[in-house]
Structure 1
Amino acid sequence: MLRRTLLAFIIGAALPGGAFARCEGYKPQPKPQNTFAQDVGRSFDRIVEEGWIEFAVYDDYAPWSYEEKGKAAGVDIEIGRLIAKTLGVEAKFRLVASGENLEADLLNYVWKGAAVGGRVSDVMLHVPYDSALVCRVEQVVFTGQYAAENIAIAYRTTDYEEKGPTPPFFRFDPVAVENDSIADFYLTSLIGPVDKIHRFRSTAAAVDGLAKGDTKAAMGPRAELEAGLIRHPKDGLAVHSPPLVGFARGNWTIGVGINFQHRDLAYAVDEAIENALAEGEIARIFQRYGLTYTPPQR
């Protein structure tokens, strides 16, 4: 699941002395040998010539990307369409499942393809960005940062009338999290495996549990929590982003991943996103979905 992918990303970034120390002691990975650029993915010229570009996006990941009435929908889908429009081509979307970690997803969908029947897409959206990934995964160009995301807390305002809860509250107050997610890992590490942590199959289900009164709060990525609030407009729910003690990586930047052989495509995609940011188009997408927009640091 994507949550495991992000969890592995966050843990790797947060652990002291971990692999995210900028290239320290890094041994370069083997590069594909005896292949031409067109053998792995499509060149920018070919994309323009054929008139379409394919984006790999995670499936069942509202509000970012999901299927609705047989078509791809979500924030990432709208951003993909912006990119395609700027490049003058049609946008196509490939809904993909997440693997055990980010490196596996990048291998399967960006630079090599799965071992059995695999193929790469032109661009992968919603790639968590960290500068050290440039060292760890040389076969991918990490670019096009278009938003920032953070861990937040949703709560019922009648239970916390003065201000929203912080993690120490959950030693005593029940909180909903997605099972094996970043929030689950953080709370369990912070306060121990207490029975106040209620685990659900997804962040969306965790917010549904909060709305039904199963818990007093829910913790997870802010956009997913806010999407849940939209489904429960009459339940008096709110979201806030308090300081997270001991969490070295409670926020991250979202960008794109492109095969390293197609840097001209990467430059074009990054320029398209840069222009969309400057013109406020990406912020307006978030507004249409009822989400808080935090611009990335580029």
Structure 2
Amino acid sequence: MVRRLSLALAIGVALPGGAVARCEGYVPQARPQNTFAQDVGREFDRILTDGWIEFAVYADYAPWSFEEKGRAAGVDVEVGRLIAKALGVEPKFRLVAAGENLEADLMNYVWKGAAVGGRVSDVMLHVPYDSELVCRIEQVTFTGQYAAENIAIAYQGADYEEKGPTPPFFRFDPVAVENDSIADFYLTSLIGPAGKIHRFRSTAAAMDGLAAGDTKAAMGPRAELEAGIVRHPEGGLKVHSPPLVGFARGNWTIGVGVSFQHRDLAYAVDDAIENALGDGEISRIFAQYGLTFTPPQR
């Protein structure tokens, strides 16, 4: 899906204090209030007074966020509930569709609202923390890093008894990827448009194909691969994260996005996440979904 590719292409790690140097080549954008009418969202005091906070989360993005029995569920949703609890308000979740790219999603759901009938949410979850985005999108405060993610490889344990496969194996062994994902582009650039690369509509579908024996391996974001293993506990599937030669952006940090006009809200959300990381609540969420938790760089 477009979302997967746009997130992956945007990923990176910005160390505190490092973004200024990286922003030296960027020309400041026109301030939003001087360009067009927009939905500025609710101030932090209004959120506390109203007694609820709304989180924008991606729809159909298991294990991160999805609808289950008419309710929002997933790792990001549980993180949102932790934030709301820390702020003393009720959480509401808005399942949103991915746009053309991450910049469009942030515009539609964080700082402006869609052109037709659009409105912003208070916080958007599952936003990559990337120094280039910090420089380029001044209308958003990127904060609240709560996990790290990486590209990994899932495989049939019976086919690779000694050790898991690495990308060169896929010149000969069939591998499943999400169509037009960063894993797809990486393998295609590494080994060419080989017939061994089987493309599926999603990483979840790629894992279903692996479990069915259509391929010997699958490549994609680790959490989505592990979610597939949870769905197929009898499949004998394993996952590992080998070094990926020439893959400069195979790891990234996940955080939140808040309108730049509501920095006090952004600070409060970041404090809530920092505390949840410190007491192990976020790592327990990952364990609940059968996922590996990698602490973020903050």
Scaled by the length of structure 1, the TM-score of the pair is 0.94
Distance 1:251 1:124 in 2: 21
What is the DSSP-based 3-state SS (H/G/I as helix, E as strand, rest coil) of the residue aligned with 1:30?
coil
Partner of residue 205, structure 1? 205
Distance 2:22 2:243 in 1: 25
Give, in angstroms, the shift of residue 25 of structure 1: 2.1
Distance 2:39 2:202 in 1: 38
RMSD: 1.7
Alignment check: 8 A CA contact 2:8 2:249 kept: no
Cα gap change, 1:267/1:175 in structure 2, threshold over 3 Å: closer, same or farther?
Answer: same
Give, in angstroms, the shift of residue 33 of structure 1: 2.1
| Unmatched tracts of structure 1, length 5 or more | 14-20
Scaled by the length of structure 2, the TM-score of the pair is 0.94
Alignment check: 8 A CA contact 1:176 1:217 kept: yes
Distance 2:22 2:114 in 1: 28
Partner of residue 103, structure 1? 103
Alignment check: 8 A CA contact 2:39 2:111 kept: no
What is the DSSP-based 3-state SS (H/G/I as helix, E as strand, rest coil) of the residue aligned with 1:261?
helix
Residue 233, structure 1, aligned to residue 233, structure 2: yes
Distance 1:29 1:70 in 2: 40
Work out the number of aligned pairs and report it: 289
Alignment check: 8 A CA contact 1:5 1:98 kept: no
What is the DSSP-based 3-state SS (H/G/I as helix, E as strand, rest coil) of the residue aligned with 1:47?
helix
Matches within 5 A, 1:127-276: 127-276=127-276
What is the DSSP-based 3-state SS (H/G/I as helix, E as strand, rest coil) of the residue aligned with 1:213?
coil
Q: Aligned partner of 2:95: which letter? A: L
Distance 2:8 2:179 in 1: 11
Partner of residue 79, structure 1? 79
Q: Aligned partner of 1:281: which letter? A: E
Partner of residue 88, structure 1? 88
Q: Aligned partner of 1:284: which letter? A: R
Partner of residue 2, structure 1? 3
| Unmatched tracts of structure 2, length 5 or more | 14-20
Alignment check: 8 A CA contact 1:4 1:100 kept: no
Q: Aligned partner of 1:235: which letter? A: G
Alignment check: 8 A CA contact 1:57 1:94 kept: yes
Partner of residue 115, structure 1? 115
In percent, how many aligned pairs have the same letter?
Answer: 83
Alignment check: 8 A CA contact 2:147 2:296 kept: yes
What is the DSSP-based 3-state SS (H/G/I as helix, E as strand, rest coil) of the residue aligned with 2:32?
coil
Alignment check: 8 A CA contact 2:230 2:290 kept: yes
Give, in angstroms, the shift of residue 131 of structure 1: 2.1
Partner of residue 52, structure 2? 52
Give, in angstroms, the shift of residue 7 of structure 1: 3.9
Partner of residue 284, structure 2? 284
Partner of residue 16, structure 1? none
Distance 2:224 2:5 in 1: 16
Give, in angstroms, the shift of residue 39 of structure 1: 5.4
Distance 1:101 1:225 in 2: 23
Distance 1:171 1:22 in 2: 38
What do residues 67-112 of structure 1 show as CA deviations (whole Å, max 9, x unaligned)? 0011000000000000000000000000001111111110000000
After TM superposition, which residue ranges in structure 1, 4 or more long, deviate above 4 angstroms? none
What do residues 261-298 of structure 1 show as CA deviations (whole Å, max 9, x unaligned)? 00000000000000000000000000011000000010
Cα gap change, 1:113/1:39 in structure 2, threshold over 3 Å: closer, same or farther?
Answer: closer
Distance 2:39 2:147 in 1: 31
What is the DSSP-based 3-state SS (H/G/I as helix, E as strand, rest coil) of the residue aligned with 1:295?
coil
Alignment check: 8 A CA contact 2:145 2:296 kept: yes
